[in-house]
Chain A
Amino acid sequence: MSDELLAEEFEEAPPPGGPPQPQQHFASRFRGLTGAVAPLVTVVIAFLAGGLVVLVTGKNPVKVYHAVFNGTGLNWFFHIGSYHARIPFSTHKMWFPWNTASIAAGNLQQTLLLTTAIILCGLAVAFPFRCGMFNIGGQGQYLVGTYVAVWLGSSFVNLDPFVHVLLCVVAGSLLGAVWAGIAGLLKATVGAHEVISTIMLNWTAVWVGEYLFGQGGPLQGSNKSVPISNDIAAGAKLPVFWGLALLQGLSIGIFIALAVLVVYWLIINRTTLGFEVRAVGFNPEAARYGGISVARNYFLAMAIAGSFAGLAGALDITGWEYNLGQNDIPVNQIGFIGLAAALLGRNTAIGVGLSGLLFGALINGTSGRQLDPSIFRPDLAGNLTTIIQGLVILFVGLNLGAIWASIRRRRRRAT
């Protein structure tokens, strides 16, 4: 985001009366510094403010945050001892410093399941951002990924598991790419603003889903009394390597998400596509004059982004949800959490990864399943999470480095 703000400054004509530049030096120096500092400060502020809200309504923020933390499973890392853990996909056991079957372990699995989706949805925002576009459509792209994954997952019963899973996952990514591609195409051809088109596509996806999975809808399961789809076939489920599938153990989806993080980094920094995307993101005119096709990059950036979000949807279905109900659709917010993660992570691979972990932990820790209602009502906690999310986005938008630089500049002018 700081890049965008800096680029904005340079589009103004240089100040009259002399060569420009020294103020830009400030900004560039601070850009390096604020690489990690600004997001950290943002998170601290957001949590403090959230704590304030809790305090104002008469509860103890410290107790609440402690309970939330235990629910995230992150406390698992702090209980080091000597245990025997089962090696995934076999029956052998080996020595391991952490207890892989504890309650905290179970909580951590939940957190990482969420992290999987949040990372991918975050990348779906980060990638177009580097191309100068704001993809708010991650939610819709995620949803269409779930729709097609459920459909394909439950329509075939006796496919080879590897093929079946691959089919669902690839189809989910593809449909997500198509959904985002609509917005990308509109931007590339007629210059339609992607914010508007993706917001509209989000809501369209929601209503289409409610239609598909509602009472009497085409994808409603064989039990016609509830608006829920059929379960996907056993062969379409992702292998769970930690915990039990029945208790929502952690599927290999997390590794896929981490792999995609690496892929993202590679594409952005080491490929010609990434070079073009970044050039277009910083200065579409100069990119055009350099021979780069701006329209093609707009479309590709959106399509690739959509594939990330669609992949998230497919991984969620094949990894732990296994079916989709009409009522799940409008309450799902994972696309927007991914948005917050991308902003907090400043659209970098490491940033999105860490923010994904943070938000995954936060959502899990405040969910109804983990939080002890006597300490804090889960539905209150859910809203608290939304508030923190909003605060993070609000504060992350501030380019703290540039503000610091402009304060110093103003002080200098006054002297």
Chain B
Amino acid sequence: MTALAARLGGIRWTHPRTVGIAGIFLGAVAFWLTLPPLAARTSALPILVGLLAIAAGIWAWARDERRVGGGAVAAGLLGIAFGFLATQSSTAHLDSVVVWSALLAATLRYATPLTYAAIGGLFCERSGVINVALEGMLLTGAFFGIWGAIWAHSWAGGAAWAVGLLIAALAGMAMAAIHAIWAIHLKVDQIISGTALNFLALGITGYIFIDKYGDTGTPGNVADYGIPDVHIGFLKSWYFVGPIIGQLNLMIWLSIVLLVATYVFVFRTPYGLRLRSVGEHPRAADTVGISVYRVRYAAVIGSGAIAAMGGAYISLGFVHSFSENLTAGTGFIGLAALIFGKWRPFPTWGATLLFGFSSALADRLPNAYGNQWGTLFQALPYVLTIIAVAGVIGRSIGPAAAGRPYEKQ
């Protein structure tokens, strides 16, 4: 607690960065004010707050804090736009769409596979290997996870999910091993090899799925031995957040553990330092005796395991079934989140939450506004990423050596 207080005391409240972050916050507030439970009805309110956000953003931008400044301006504009739309819509509509407990729970559920995919991508790319095959690894994990669990059910009963997870991880590692060999030893263009793997994953999982379950689909009772929810009695009774976090799936809790572990590993251990050195300047790492190849292999194969587990969460922990191309682009949103979060664990998590929220909202919009708006909303994560990549919110620069195969002399 004292550390936190020291941190808070140490923040310079008039520093442009803080102002910029406050601006982003204000932009979100502008929208939030018009939503239940506050449901302000005058459009003046979101406009005013949004303008404040924009002002803060411009102020920060002018003082060279481009990324947060731009973000605040964007947040302000979006806040005004959505806030305005909300005030024009009936309260009944808003109430049926904006059910916060459902929204937040759904946000976490959507964000979690993104987190696994993005963190997997983080390790891989931090070592200097571009990974566009996150989608394929996710899908591989989704299929082999549930397939493994179904197979294990006969002898492991209710613990079959653990076997499923293990098999998912192994499958993801196998897929990642191909990417590793191609990218590291055979020095193929990493984007090509990643794209190829996406197709392979799609085809192989589809093929085996139809071969085994084509006519009947996966068994209906997978929910009995899927990845369990974690019921925490005392949390459940907390006001407002209780129902949400009192029974989150195990994988969601594990994802938070994963985030913390990733941060510590990458930024506070020697191995993380070596990982980053290999991704930034592999020759320098080589000259101090670090085996660039070994580090990269470990990173890529590890990323396969992590991403695959995210996929297993979808099939074993969320929908409890599998269908062809179950992941349908989730891996790419994960990649987008990683870029948005500038290859750092916690900002990436923020991005996955943002994207998860937009998916959750898109799910609920049809309750009041008809199917089309929900559909259109699904494009939001992609549009946001384009803006991020365009550098309006600050250029997203990855590890310096990413994408270039290392040639040992």
A residues apposed to B, CB below 8 Å: 1, 4-5, 8, 12, 15, 53, 57, 134, 136, 182, 186, 190-193, 195-197, 199-201, 203-204, 207-208, 210-211, 214-217, 330, 336, 339-340, 343, 377, 379-380, 382-394, 396-399, 403
Task: Specify which chain B residues have a CB less than 8 angstroms from the CB of A186 in the assembled complex.
Answer: 386, 389-390
Do the beta carbons of B376 and A200 come within 8 Å of each other? no
Q: What B residues does A201 contact at CB under 8 A?
A: 382, 386
One digit per residue, 1 when the CB lies within 8 angstroms of any chain A CB and 0 when it does not, for chain B 105-129 equals 0000000000000000000000000
Q: Which residue of B lies closest to A189 (CB)?
A: B390
Q: Are A214 and B386 touching (Cβ within 8 A)?
A: no
Starting from the known contacts A190-B391, A207-B379, A383-B207, 11 additional A-B residue pairs (CB-CB under 8 Å) come to A1-B189, A57-B207, A57-B208, A134-B191, A197-B386, A215-B371, A217-B372, A383-B324, A387-B203, A394-B178, A403-B186
B375 at the interface (CB under 8 A from A): yes
B46-74, CB under 8 A of A: which get 1 and which 0? 00000000000000000000000000000
The distance from the CB of B292 to the nearest CB of chain A, in whole angstroms, is: 15
| B197→A390 contact, CB < 8 A | yes
**Which residues of chain A come closer than 8 Å to B203, judged between CB atoms?**
383-390
CB-contacts of B183-203 with A (<8 A): 186-189, 191-193, 195-203
Interface contact A197-B389, CB-CB below 8 Å: yes
A–B Cβ pairs within 8 angstroms, 29 of them:
A1-B192, A8-B405, A12-B407, A53-B204, A57-B207, A134-B191, A186-B386, A186-B389, A196-B339, A199-B132, A199-B335, A200-B332, A207-B382, A208-B376, A211-B372, A214-B375, A330-B328, A379-B210, A380-B207, A383-B203, A383-B210, A385-B203, A386-B199, A387-B199, A390-B201, A393-B192, A393-B196, A394-B197, A397-B182
Of the candidates A134, A203, A393, A397, the one whose C-beta lies within 8 Å of that of B382 is: A203
Contacts of A343 in B (CB 8 A): 192
Contacts of A390 in B (CB 8 A): 196-203
Inter-subunit contact B372/A397 (CB<8 Å): no
CA distance A377 to B207 in the complex (A): 10
CB nearest neighbor in B for A185: B390
Complex contact B372–A4 (CB within 8 A): no
Chain B interface, DSSP helix/strand/loop, else mixed: helix
Q: In the assembly, what is the distance between CA of A330 and CA of B379, in Å?
A: 13
Interchain CA distance A410-B258 in the complex, whole Å: 42
Q: How far is the CA of A263 from the CA of B186 in the complex (A)?
A: 35
The yes or no answer to B383 lying at the interface (CB within 8 A) is yes
Question: Which B residues form the contact surface with A (CB < 8 A)?
Answer: 132, 178, 182, 186-189, 191-193, 195-204, 206-208, 210-211, 214, 324, 328-329, 332, 335-336, 339, 370-373, 375-376, 378-379, 382-383, 385-386, 389-391, 395, 404-405, 407, 409
B193 cross-chain contacts in A, Cβ below 8 A: 394, 397
A5–B132 CA distance with the chains assembled, in angstroms: 20
| B389/A192 in contact, CB under 8 A | yes
Q: Which residue of B lies closest to A218 (CB)?
A: B372
Bound CA span A399–B186, Å: 9
Whether A211 contacts B376 by the Cβ 8 Å rule is: yes
Q: Report B-chain residues with C-beta under 8 Å of the C-beta of A211.
A: 372-373, 375-376, 379
Q: Which of B132, B208, B210, B373 contacts A195 (CB 8 A)?
A: B132
Give the residue of A4, A214, A336, A391 whose beta carbon is less than 8 angstroms from that of B371. A214
